[in-house]
Amino acid sequence: MKILAVGDIVGESGVRKLKELLPNIKKEKNIDFVITNGENSAGGMGITEKNFKDIIEAGTNVITMGNHTWGKKDIFRFIDDPRLLRPANYPKGVVGKGLGIFECMDKKIAVINLIGRVDINILTENPFILAKEMVDDLQGKVDIIIMDFHAEATAEKIAMARFLDGKITAIFGTHTHVQTGDEQILPNGTAYITDIGMTGPKNSVIGMDIQVSIKRFETALPEKYKLAEGECILNAVIFDIDDISNKVTSIERMNIR
């Protein structure tokens, strides 16, 4: 089985790029299941129902979110769709869910969405404690466990991967929008990459307009972010999973410019 994880969709141009490329990627790479992070798809912050439908119709099986989950109020209209996951470590009682179980090719695939706490200004529960509880509860119930860990700090992502090594199939990082070159299979069999990158404007500062971004750093004034325009890239990673052992045999990064 091949599972494709697509990096953070940035803006409507990123959505269009996904719609343009994903069908061919699935065909050419024999992709069976697709996870797409959509938390920046609506103007760079949040997701609308139209974005959600477009990403699903492009060929995505499940959409994960992050620190901009609530960026658009529209999300409350479709937050209970089983194909949409928000970070599981939001406080108890918050609408939505952070775990989904999906069936594909006679396999049960659990997808977990968690958010980090280092340098992210959101009050959430400890992702390590919750990850252990969730993974322990899933043992024997599913064949494959994939985690999108939406976090800023590289150390926090690596620590989570080592913490769960051998207990889940794969963990990939999102949020920083820059694809890292550290894809690997850890000693106990869990596949890992620190960040899978983004799908959005190529000539940008992580998807945002270059001059506006520079001005924010140069002046320290709260300049409003603006999405960049022009040609888009698509970043993703493919996990090739053995049908018998349910372990990842190889990881392939994709950087389509």
Which residues have a Cβ under 8 Å from the Cβ of 248 and sit 6 or more positions away? 169, 170, 185, 189, 190, 191, 239, 240, 241, 242
CA distance 21 to 138: 33
Two tokens, residue 198: 């983004």
Handedness of CA 139, 69, 103, 5 (dihedral sign): negative
Identify the helix (H) or strand (E) that includes residue 93.
none
Count the residues in the chain.
257
Query: Do 236 and 257 meet the contact criterion of CB atoms below 8 Å apart?
Result: no
Catalytic residue chosen out of the listed positions 68, 150, 175, 177: 68
Active site residue 68: yes
Q: Which long-range contacts (CB under 8 A, 24 or more apart) does 94-102 make?
A: 96/69, 99/134, 100/62, 101/141, 101/142, 102/33, 102/61, 102/62
Residues designated catalytic:
68
